[in-house]
């Protein structure tokens, strides 16, 4: 199916031709003498035929769904059936989750209105739409494309995109009950678990900035998306608790934005009293400032001190949904960025829905020095700008931890 831009350009070019022909005809009619008029009358029928052909072409361009012959693609459910009937290892490799977890999620979304047609024709089973969408969420740019997924599952490219959109809409409806900030009672439980396991008193979780790669350079201010990892990306700030449950997602900033800046514009920083109480705070990496609600790990050269290395020991694993390494989204306008952010949020929702589903370690790809956030000079400036109360809090937390060993 052609894009609206291509269709609009074709119709406009035909309109220009029609208008040009009319102007030429008007000029010739007004300037011709009797002899020329006689010759014009002889060619009038031929000219009328040309105008008729052009008018028909315009109508076709405006109304046709396809502007070129469609490539026929064999439609078969055989490959989908093979995945559903495969052994547990093969199924998990394709679905990025166990069979039990997959059907649990399918059951949660199957009755959502997006899977119900207004006509008498029914849709494909939501479970089949989900497995196709997971094929896009679970693999990165080189392994996931509309064409490849369409060929693999025996459906058209447009159908792959349609199924993905439906699944995303259905999963986003679960976000309020899946990715949410813990209430006071639950935060107390989190604080107690973290203190018992890691000795950090009043800590309610961990905040980190993650770069979600983009397949293409965004149109317009694309340079803003060029990240420290020498690629185009979107910055996503994610807060997790001690059980790796995602509690807050703030995504959409260009990859060139520093984690510190992104955090300062988040709701956590702007409305801290809505999220923290009684000295609660988040552990953070060295890109974040010390404050009443964030206690970052130590920056160089302080990180070389043995006791500070001991302090910098908390990390969060990620890797189930490889599409977040390189999204196949070309950001040209706001709706494209919104689509990318929805994609990130959907993956976070799935992450939480799968908190009890065993993670396959083969999905993890080691990256040497992956979280070296910025150069030392910028880190020193952030350290200098940190508020005095924040620095005192970090020192107090460190001494509290070291005193317990």
Same-domain check for residues 197 and 136? no
Please, are residues 217 and 210 in contact by the beta-carbon 8 Å criterion? no
Domain contains 70: no
Q: Are residues 49 and 96 in the same domain?
A: no
Which of 271, 278, 264, 121 lies closest to 184 in space, CA to CA?
278
Nearest by Cα to 219 from 329, 70, 378:
329
Reported for 398-401, long-range contacts at CB under 8 A and 24+ positions apart, including other chains, are 398/307, 398/308, 398/311, 400/199, 400/200, 400/201, 401/198, 401/199, 401/200, 401/310, 401/311
Say how far apart CA 266 and CA 249 lie, in whole Å. 9
Q: Are residues 102 and 206 in the same domain?
A: no
Nearest to 163 by CA among 98, 114, 90: 114
Which among 173, 195, 212 is the end of a domain? 173
* CA pseudo-torsion sign 314, 320, 323, 326: positive
Provide Rg for the chain, Cα atoms. Answer: 29
**Domain final position from 148, 173, 198:** 173
Q: How far is CA 399 from the centre of its chain?
A: 40
Are residues 257 and 385 part of one domain? Answer: yes
Pairwise CA distance, residues 260 & 289, whole Å? 7
- The reply to whether 278 falls in a domain is yes
pLDDT for res 289: 81
* 3-state SS assignment for residue 207: strand
> Is residue 37 situated within a structural domain?
yes
Q: Kindly state whether residues 291 and 353 are assigned to the same domain.
A: yes
Tens place of pLDDT per residue across the chain (405 aa):
445 556 667 767 767 676 676 666 666 666 555 555 555 555 555 555 565 566 655 665 565 555 555 555 455 556 667 788 888 888 998 899 999 999 999 999 999 999 998 887 888 899 999 999 998 998 875 555 444 554 555 677 788 889 999 999 999 999 999 999 999 999 999 999 999 988 889 999 988 888 888 989 999 888 999 988 889 999 999 998 988 899 999 999 999 999 989 999 999 999 999 999 999 999 888 888 888 999 887 555 444 433 444 333 234 335 788 888 888 888 999 999 999 999 999 999 999 999 898 887 777 653 434 444 444 444 444 444 445 555 556 565 555 544 554
- The number of residues in the chain equals 405
Q: Is the distance from CB of 288 to CB of 381 less than 8 angstroms?
A: no
- Could you say which of 173, 202, 223 is where a domain stops? 173
Judged on CB neighbours under 10 Å (0-12, 13-18, 19+), 21 is middle
Q: Are residues 291 and 309 in the same domain?
A: yes
Q: According to the model, what pLDDT value does residue 308 have?
A: 41
List the 246-254 sheet strands across, edge first: 246-254, 233-240, 203-213, 281-284, 294-296
The residue segments making up the domain with residue 298 are 182-402
Count of structural domains within the chain: 3
Global model pTM greater than 0.95: no
321-350 burial code (b ≥16 CB/10 A, e <16): bbbbbbbbbebeeeeebeebbbbbbbbbbb
| pLDDT reported for residue 307 | 41
Q: How far apart are CA 222 and CA 216, in angstroms?
A: 9
Same domain, yes or no, for 30 and 139? Answer: no
Q: Identify whether 69 is part of a domain.
A: no
Question: For residue 154, is it within any domain?
Answer: yes
Q: Does residue 73 sit within a domain? A: no
Does residue 72 belong to any structural domain of this protein? no
Distance of alpha carbon 247 from alpha carbon 240, whole angstroms: 5
Same domain, residue pair 210 and 265: yes
Task: Name residues whose C-beta falls within 8 Å of residue 249's C-beta, 6 or more positions apart in sequence.
Answer: 179, 236, 237, 238, 239, 344, 345, 348
Query: Are 99 and 92 spatial neighbours (Cβ–Cβ below 8 Å)?
Result: yes
């Amino acid at each position: 199916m052609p894009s609206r831009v291509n269709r609009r350009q074709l119709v406009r070019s035909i309109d220009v031709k029609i208008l040009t022909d009319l102007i030429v005809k008007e000029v010739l009619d007004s300037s011709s003498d009797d002899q020329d008029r006689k010759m014009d009358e002889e060619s009038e029928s031929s000219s009328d035929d040309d105008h008729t052909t052009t008018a028909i072409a315009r109508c076709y361009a405006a109304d046709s769904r396809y502007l070129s012959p469609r490539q026929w693609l064999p439609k078969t459910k055989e490959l989908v059936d093979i995945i559903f009937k495969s052994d547990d290892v093969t199924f998990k490799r394709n679905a990025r989750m166990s069979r039990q977890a997959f059907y649990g999620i399918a059951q949660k979304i199957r009755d959502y209105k997006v899977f119900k047609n207004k006509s008498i024709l029914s849709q494909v089973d939501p479970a089949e739409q989900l497995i196709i969408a997971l094929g896009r969420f679970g693999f990165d740019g080189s392994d996931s494309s509309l064409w490849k997924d369409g060929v693999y599952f025996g459906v058209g490219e447009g159908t792959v995109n349609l199924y993905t959109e439906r699944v995303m809409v259905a999963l986003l409806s679960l976000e309020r009950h899946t990715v949410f900030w813990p209430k006071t009672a639950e935060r107390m439980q989190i604080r107690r678990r973290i203190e018992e396991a890691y000795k950090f008193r009043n800590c309610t979780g961990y905040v980190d900035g993650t770069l979600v790669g983009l397949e293409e350079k965004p149109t317009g201010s694309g340079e803003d998306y060029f990240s420290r990892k020498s690629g185009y990306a979107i910055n996503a700030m994610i807060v997790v608790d001690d059980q790796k449950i995602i509690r807050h997602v703030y995504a959409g900033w260009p990859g060139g934005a520093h984690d510190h800046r992104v955090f300062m514009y988040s709701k956590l920083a702007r409305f801290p009293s809505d999220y923290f109480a009684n000295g609660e705070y988040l552990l953070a990496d060295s890109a974040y400032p010390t404050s009443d609600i964030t206690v970052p790990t130590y920056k160089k050269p302080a990180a070389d001190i043995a006791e500070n290395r001991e302090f910098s020991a908390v990390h969060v694993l990620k890797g189930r949904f490889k599409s977040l390494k390189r999204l196949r989204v070309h950001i040209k306008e706001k709706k494209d960025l919104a689509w990318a952010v929805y994609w990130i949020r959907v993956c976070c929702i799935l992450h939480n829905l799968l908190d009890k589903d065993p993670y396959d370690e083969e999905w993890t790809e080691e990256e040497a020095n992956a979280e070296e956030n910025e150069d030392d000079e910028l880190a020193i400036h952030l350290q200098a700008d940190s508020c005095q109360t924040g620095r005192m809090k970090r020192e107090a937390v460190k001494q509290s931890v070291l005193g317990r060993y």
